[in-house]
Amino acid sequence: MIILSKKILIIEDEQEIAELIKDYLTVEGYCVEIAYDGLTGLNKVKSFIPDLLILDIMLPKLSGLDICKEIRKSDECLPIIIVSAKHGDIDTVLGLGLGADDYLAKPFSPSVLVARVKALLRRCLVSSEESTNTTLVFGELSIDTAGYNVLINGQEVDLPTKEFELLKFLALNPKQVFSRDQLYEQIWGYDSLGEATTVTVHIKRLRQKIEKNPAEPKFIRTVWGVGYKFEA
Protein backbone atom coordinates (compact mmCIF):
# COMPACT_ATOMS: atom_id res chain seq x y z
CA MET A 1 0.00 0.00 0.00
CA ILE A 2 1.41 3.39 -1.02
CA ILE A 3 0.57 6.19 1.40
CA LEU A 4 0.33 9.60 -0.20
CA SER A 5 1.82 12.42 1.88
CA LYS A 6 2.14 16.13 1.38
CA LYS A 7 5.35 17.15 -0.37
CA ILE A 8 7.41 20.01 0.99
CA LEU A 9 10.40 21.63 -0.69
CA ILE A 10 12.97 23.51 1.41
CA ILE A 11 15.18 26.01 -0.43
CA GLU A 12 17.83 26.94 2.12
CA ASP A 13 21.58 27.38 1.66
CA GLU A 14 22.46 26.72 5.32
CA GLN A 15 22.69 22.94 5.30
CA GLU A 16 22.39 22.47 9.06
CA ILE A 17 19.17 24.48 9.20
CA ALA A 18 17.73 22.76 6.13
CA GLU A 19 18.45 19.28 7.49
CA LEU A 20 16.98 20.17 10.89
CA ILE A 21 13.76 21.40 9.31
CA LYS A 22 13.62 18.31 7.13
CA ASP A 23 14.00 16.02 10.15
CA TYR A 24 11.12 17.71 11.99
CA LEU A 25 8.82 17.61 8.96
CA THR A 26 9.71 14.01 8.09
CA VAL A 27 8.74 12.91 11.61
CA GLU A 28 5.33 14.50 10.96
CA GLY A 29 4.88 12.33 7.87
CA TYR A 30 5.73 14.81 5.12
CA CYS A 31 7.80 13.98 2.05
CA VAL A 32 10.64 16.52 2.06
CA GLU A 33 13.33 17.54 -0.41
CA ILE A 34 16.03 20.21 -0.11
CA ALA A 35 17.72 22.57 -2.55
CA TYR A 36 20.76 24.57 -1.39
CA ASP A 37 20.70 27.34 -4.00
CA GLY A 38 18.00 29.36 -5.69
CA LEU A 39 18.44 28.12 -9.24
CA THR A 40 18.34 24.46 -8.22
CA GLY A 41 15.37 25.22 -6.01
CA LEU A 42 13.37 26.80 -8.80
CA ASN A 43 14.03 23.79 -11.02
CA LYS A 44 12.95 21.46 -8.19
CA VAL A 45 9.67 23.33 -7.87
CA LYS A 46 8.92 22.31 -11.44
CA SER A 47 10.09 18.69 -11.12
CA PHE A 48 9.13 17.83 -7.51
CA ILE A 49 5.81 19.77 -7.61
CA PRO A 50 5.61 20.45 -3.86
CA ASP A 51 2.43 21.08 -1.88
CA LEU A 52 4.26 23.74 0.14
CA LEU A 53 7.51 25.68 -0.21
CA ILE A 54 9.82 26.85 2.60
CA LEU A 55 11.97 29.56 1.07
CA ASP A 56 15.01 31.43 2.40
CA ILE A 57 15.54 34.97 1.09
CA MET A 58 19.33 35.12 0.93
CA LEU A 59 20.33 32.38 -1.52
CA PRO A 60 23.20 31.89 -3.97
CA LYS A 61 22.46 32.09 -7.72
CA LEU A 62 18.87 33.31 -7.29
CA SER A 63 17.27 35.10 -4.33
CA GLY A 64 14.21 33.82 -2.55
CA LEU A 65 12.24 36.91 -3.52
CA ASP A 66 13.07 36.34 -7.19
CA ILE A 67 11.97 32.71 -6.85
CA CYS A 68 8.71 33.78 -5.23
CA LYS A 69 8.07 36.30 -7.99
CA GLU A 70 8.82 33.73 -10.70
CA ILE A 71 6.56 31.08 -9.14
CA ARG A 72 3.64 33.49 -8.85
CA LYS A 73 3.74 34.16 -12.59
CA SER A 74 2.33 30.68 -13.23
CA ASP A 75 1.13 29.38 -9.86
CA GLU A 76 -0.98 31.51 -7.53
CA CYS A 77 -1.87 28.66 -5.20
CA LEU A 78 1.40 27.08 -4.01
CA PRO A 79 1.73 27.93 -0.29
CA ILE A 80 5.03 29.71 0.41
CA ILE A 81 6.63 30.34 3.79
CA ILE A 82 9.56 32.74 3.65
CA VAL A 83 12.34 32.54 6.25
CA SER A 84 15.09 35.10 6.64
CA ALA A 85 17.84 36.28 8.98
CA LYS A 86 16.83 39.84 8.16
CA HIS A 87 14.47 41.26 10.74
CA GLY A 88 13.57 44.46 8.89
CA ASP A 89 9.97 45.04 7.92
CA ILE A 90 11.04 45.60 4.31
CA ASP A 91 11.64 41.87 3.80
CA THR A 92 8.23 41.03 5.21
CA VAL A 93 6.52 43.60 3.01
CA LEU A 94 8.41 42.51 -0.09
CA GLY A 95 7.93 38.82 0.60
CA LEU A 96 4.20 38.98 1.26
CA GLY A 97 3.72 41.53 -1.50
CA LEU A 98 5.17 39.08 -4.01
CA GLY A 99 2.74 36.40 -2.96
CA ALA A 100 4.27 34.62 0.05
CA ASP A 101 1.72 33.28 2.54
CA ASP A 102 3.74 33.47 5.75
CA TYR A 103 7.05 34.79 7.09
CA LEU A 104 9.42 33.68 9.86
CA ALA A 105 12.51 35.51 11.04
CA LYS A 106 15.63 33.55 11.98
CA PRO A 107 16.36 32.16 14.45
CA PHE A 108 13.05 30.32 14.84
CA SER A 109 11.92 27.19 16.62
CA PRO A 110 11.51 24.22 14.23
CA SER A 111 8.35 23.27 16.11
CA VAL A 112 6.90 26.73 15.40
CA LEU A 113 7.68 26.29 11.72
CA VAL A 114 6.00 22.87 11.72
CA ALA A 115 2.91 24.43 13.31
CA ARG A 116 2.86 27.14 10.62
CA VAL A 117 3.18 24.48 7.91
CA LYS A 118 0.25 22.51 9.31
CA ALA A 119 -1.93 25.60 9.68
CA LEU A 120 -1.18 26.78 6.14
CA LEU A 121 -1.89 23.38 4.61
CA ARG A 122 -5.17 23.24 6.53
CA ARG A 123 -6.19 26.65 5.19
CA CYS A 124 -5.35 25.54 1.67
CA LEU A 125 -7.44 22.40 2.12
CA VAL A 126 -10.45 24.45 3.23
CA SER A 127 -10.01 26.77 0.26
CA SER A 128 -9.81 23.78 -2.06
CA GLU A 129 -12.97 22.28 -0.56
CA GLU A 130 -14.87 25.52 -1.03
CA SER A 131 -13.98 25.56 -4.72
CA THR A 132 -15.33 22.06 -5.35
CA ASN A 133 -18.92 20.93 -5.84
CA THR A 134 -20.84 21.08 -2.59
CA THR A 135 -22.40 17.61 -3.02
CA LEU A 136 -20.38 14.40 -3.14
CA VAL A 137 -22.21 11.27 -4.30
CA PHE A 138 -20.93 7.71 -3.82
CA GLY A 139 -23.69 5.30 -4.76
CA GLU A 140 -26.29 5.41 -2.02
CA LEU A 141 -24.20 7.85 0.03
CA SER A 142 -24.61 11.59 -0.59
CA ILE A 143 -22.61 14.26 1.29
CA ASP A 144 -23.62 17.92 1.10
CA THR A 145 -20.38 19.59 2.18
CA ALA A 146 -21.89 23.08 2.36
CA GLY A 147 -25.13 22.18 4.09
CA TYR A 148 -23.59 19.59 6.44
CA ASN A 149 -26.16 17.00 5.35
CA VAL A 150 -25.63 13.28 4.73
CA LEU A 151 -28.13 11.02 2.98
CA ILE A 152 -28.19 7.22 2.72
CA ASN A 153 -30.61 6.03 0.03
CA GLY A 154 -32.34 9.40 0.26
CA GLN A 155 -32.75 9.22 4.03
CA GLU A 156 -31.05 11.90 6.11
CA VAL A 157 -28.44 10.72 8.61
CA ASP A 158 -27.90 12.77 11.75
CA LEU A 159 -24.17 13.39 12.28
CA PRO A 160 -22.56 15.59 14.93
CA THR A 161 -20.15 18.20 13.58
CA LYS A 162 -16.90 16.27 14.14
CA GLU A 163 -18.30 13.06 12.65
CA PHE A 164 -19.41 15.01 9.59
CA GLU A 165 -16.05 16.78 9.23
CA LEU A 166 -14.22 13.47 9.52
CA LEU A 167 -16.42 11.87 6.85
CA LYS A 168 -16.11 14.91 4.57
CA PHE A 169 -12.32 14.99 4.86
CA LEU A 170 -12.01 11.28 4.04
CA ALA A 171 -14.48 11.56 1.16
CA LEU A 172 -12.60 14.53 -0.31
CA ASN A 173 -9.40 12.45 -0.27
CA PRO A 174 -10.56 9.04 -1.57
CA LYS A 175 -8.17 6.08 -1.53
CA GLN A 176 -5.61 8.06 0.49
CA VAL A 177 -4.58 6.42 3.75
CA PHE A 178 -4.46 8.54 6.90
CA SER A 179 -3.17 7.52 10.32
CA ARG A 180 -5.22 8.24 13.43
CA ASP A 181 -2.77 10.98 14.39
CA GLN A 182 -3.10 12.64 10.99
CA LEU A 183 -6.91 12.54 11.15
CA TYR A 184 -6.95 13.86 14.71
CA GLU A 185 -4.66 16.72 13.77
CA GLN A 186 -6.72 17.53 10.67
CA ILE A 187 -10.16 17.50 12.34
CA TRP A 188 -9.44 18.50 15.91
CA GLY A 189 -6.24 20.50 15.42
CA TYR A 190 -2.70 19.96 16.68
CA ASP A 191 -3.33 22.20 19.72
CA SER A 192 -6.59 20.52 20.80
CA LEU A 193 -6.87 18.63 24.05
CA GLY A 194 -7.47 14.92 23.51
CA GLU A 195 -5.87 11.94 21.86
CA ALA A 196 -5.91 9.97 18.63
CA THR A 197 -8.15 7.23 20.07
CA THR A 198 -10.95 9.77 19.62
CA VAL A 199 -10.66 9.06 15.89
CA THR A 200 -11.32 5.34 16.42
CA VAL A 201 -14.50 6.13 18.36
CA HIS A 202 -15.77 8.51 15.68
CA ILE A 203 -14.97 6.05 12.88
CA LYS A 204 -16.96 3.37 14.70
CA ARG A 205 -19.95 5.69 15.08
CA LEU A 206 -19.78 6.75 11.43
CA ARG A 207 -19.78 3.14 10.26
CA GLN A 208 -22.83 2.38 12.37
CA LYS A 209 -24.67 5.22 10.65
CA ILE A 210 -23.58 5.00 7.01
CA GLU A 211 -22.51 1.40 6.44
CA LYS A 212 -24.98 -1.34 5.58
CA ASN A 213 -22.75 -3.77 7.47
CA PRO A 214 -20.43 -1.90 9.90
CA ALA A 215 -18.41 -5.10 10.44
CA GLU A 216 -17.58 -5.16 6.72
CA PRO A 217 -17.50 -1.48 5.78
CA LYS A 218 -17.88 -0.42 2.16
CA PHE A 219 -16.87 3.24 2.49
CA ILE A 220 -14.53 3.72 5.45
CA ARG A 221 -11.95 0.96 5.27
CA THR A 222 -9.27 0.04 7.79
CA VAL A 223 -5.69 -0.38 6.56
CA TRP A 224 -4.28 -2.51 9.36
CA GLY A 225 -1.26 -1.09 11.07
CA VAL A 226 -1.59 2.19 9.17
CA GLY A 227 -4.96 3.91 9.48
CA TYR A 228 -8.11 4.51 7.45
CA LYS A 229 -9.12 5.36 3.91
CA PHE A 230 -12.31 6.18 2.03
CA GLU A 231 -13.26 3.88 -0.84
CA ALA A 232 -15.10 5.82 -3.53
pLDDT tens string for the chain (232 positions)?
334 578 999 999 999 999 999 999 998 889 999 999 999 999 999 888 898 999 998 899 998 888 988 888 887 778 888 888 765 545 554 555 667 777 888 888 888 888 888 877 876 665 555 555 578 888 899 998 878 889 999 899 988 888 998 999 899 888 888 888 888 888 877 544 456 678 899 999 999 999 999 999 999 999 988 899 998 7
Amino acid symbol at 75: D
Neighbours of 39 (CB within 10 A): 15
Q: Give the separation between CA 88 and CA 152, rounded to whole angstroms.
A: 56
Q: Give the separation between CA 82 and CA 67, rounded to whole angstroms.
A: 11
Strand order in the sheet with 52-56: 31-35, 7-11, 52-56, 80-84, 102-105
Residue 192: what pLDDT? 46
Residue 2 CB-density burial (10 A; 0-12 exposed, 13-18 middle, 19+ buried): exposed
Residue 126: what pLDDT? 56
Amino acid symbol at 194: G
Decide if 176 contacts 228 (C-beta within 8 A): no
Which domains does the chain show, CATH number per domain? 7-129 (3.40.50.2300), 135-230 (1.10.10.10)
Residue 110: what pLDDT? 87
Q: Give the separation between CA 196 and CA 59, rounded to whole angstroms.
A: 40
Name 191's Cβ contacts closer than 8 Å, sequence gap at least 6: 115
Residue 2: what pLDDT? 37
Which helix (H) or strand (E) covers residue 30, if one does?
none
Decide if 133 contacts 102 (C-beta within 8 A): no
Vertex 123: Cα angle to 147 and 131 (nearest 5): 50
Q: Give the separation between CA 31 and CA 44, rounded to whole angstroms.
A: 14
Residue 195: what pLDDT? 65
Decide if 176 contacts 4 (C-beta within 8 A): yes
Residue 112: what pLDDT? 86
Q: Is the pTM of this model over 0.85?
A: no
